[in-house]
Amino acid sequence: MLLDSQILTQISDFITTYLIYFGPGYNILNTVVFGILLGIFVIILIKMFKYINKDPKDLLIAVLPFIFFGSSTRALVDNGIYPLSYWLITPGIYFITGFATIIALLVGVYVEKKTKFDYRYFIFLVGVVICLPNIFNINHINLIALGQVLGAWALVSSVFILLRNKWSLIKDKFNLSVLLAQIFDASATFVAIDYYPYGEQHVLPNALIGITGTALVMYPLKIAIILMALYVVDSYIQDKTIKNMLKLAIFILGISTGLRDLLSLIIGT
Q: How far apart are CA 83 and CA 177, in angstroms?
A: 33
Cis peptide before 56 (omega within 30 of 0): no
* Of the candidates 220, 243, 239, 218, the residue with the CA atom closest to the CA atom of residue 230: 243
Amino acid, res. 155: L
d(CA 76, CA 62): 23
Q: 222-238: per-residue pLDDT in tens? A: 999 999 999 999 999 99
| 44-67 pLDDT, tens digit each | 999 999 999 999 999 999 999 999
Sign of the CA dihedral 64, 204, 189, 138? positive
Give domain limits for the chain: 2-268
Task: Indicate left, alpha or beta for 213 from its phi (over 0: left) and psi (-120 to 50: alpha).
Answer: left
Which residue, among 255, 262, 70, 232, has the nearest Cα to 179 in the 3D structure? Answer: 255
What is the pTM for the complete model shown? 0.88
What span, in angstroms and rounded, lies between the C-alpha atoms of 227 and 161? 14
Q: Report the length, in residues, of the chain.
A: 269
Q: How far is CA 79 from CA 32, 65, 74, 269, in A?
A: 27, 21, 9, 10
What is the average pLDDT value for the chain, to the nearest integer?
88
Q: What confidence score (pLDDT) does residue 178 get?
A: 97
Low-confidence residues of the chain: pLDDT under 50? 1-3, 24
